[in-house]
Amino acid sequence: GAVVSQHPSWVICKSGTSVKIECRSLDFQATTMFWYRQFPKQSLMLMATSNEGSKATYEQGVEKDKFLINHASLTLSTLTVTSAHPEDSSFYICSAWDSPEAFFGQGTRLTVV
Amino acid sequence: AQSVAQPEDQVNVAEGNPLTVKCTYSVSGNPYLFWYVQYPNRGLQFLLKYITGDNLVKGSYGFEAEFNKSQTSFHLKKPSALVSDSALYFCAVKTASGTYKYIFGTGTRLKVLA
């Protein structure tokens, strides 16, 4: 099956700094990628849909200025958490669309201290 | 509204016994159904999917699931549980047409006891 790679697997950053998470489709081109957030012991919450060459579509309640998404190529989408705060600590998972289904990355554990 | 329900937060089963993790869904149109497993601090691992064809789907690690259209269910099963099957299991659905969005259930924690 298709492979999606997320980097880094875990990151610790200081409050107020920004951190970038990368999501790559390794063996296919993905015009559409997705970013999810998962709180402890909870399900995945879709944050935004990332479309190559255009602006991301954010779900209701997700701050687009805090969670910057860039999908500059057919194999790479990035999520930048700006001015991170401890409440942004979470597990972030990306997926990439390869019709007729999506394939998921291994996730990134973000801890803001 | 489209939704997925996993009615059990946790399922406990003895090693060697059969296991079932339940999932029901509500979508308009024909559903694409998926099961994923998640180990601590890891992403989702694909187990199996139903898109079309036989209602009984066989997947990775000996898991299988049966699509039941009349009951709108897609329960995950395994004939003989292993301790290593202990993990968090998610059911997900997307409609066959239109949106790319997946709707996830709340997850069921499976605990296999030695």
B111 touches chain A (CB under 8 A): no
Q: Residue B96 pLDDT more than 70?
A: no
Q: What is the DSSP string of A41-52?
A: TS-EEEEEEEET
For tokens 């009349």, the residue is B70
pLDDT tens profile B6-26: 999 999 999 999 999 999 999
Q: Which of B35, B10, B44, B47 is nearest to A92 (CA)?
A: B44
Within 10 angstroms of residue B91's Cβ, the number of other Cβ atoms is 29
Higher pLDDT, B66 or B30: B66
Going by pLDDT thresholds of 50, 70 and 90, the confidence category of residue B97 is low
- A56-101 residue pLDDT tens: 999 999 999 999 999 989 999 999 999 999 999 999 999 998 887 8
What percent of chain B clears pLDDT 90, i.e. is strictly above it?
A: 74
Q: Least CB-CB distance to A106: which of B36, B42, B100?
A: B42
pLDDT in tens, A7-17: 999 999 999 99
Cβ atoms within 10 Å, residue A110: 21
Task: Give residue B42's pLDDT band: very low, low, confident or very high (50, 70, 90).
Answer: confident
Average pLDDT, stretch B54-80?
A: 96
What residue has token string 């910057």?
Answer: A68
Length of chain B: 114
**Given a cut of 80, is residue A106 above it in pLDDT?**
yes
Please list every residue in chain B whose beta carbon sits closer than 8 Å to the beta carbon of residue A101.
32, 34, 49, 51, 94
Residue A86 backbone phi and psi in degrees, to 5: -55, -30
- Measured CA to CA, the distance from residue A39 to residue A36 in angstroms comes to 10
Interface test with A, best of B4, B91, B104, B108 (most A CBs within 10 A): B104
Q: Nearest CA to CA, how far is B108 from chain A (Å)?
A: 10
What distance in Å separates the CA atoms of residue B105 and residue A11, rounded to the nearest whole number? 27
Which residues on adjacent β-strands are paired with residue B108? B89
* CA distances, A61 to each of A51, A81, B89 (Å): 19, 15, 26
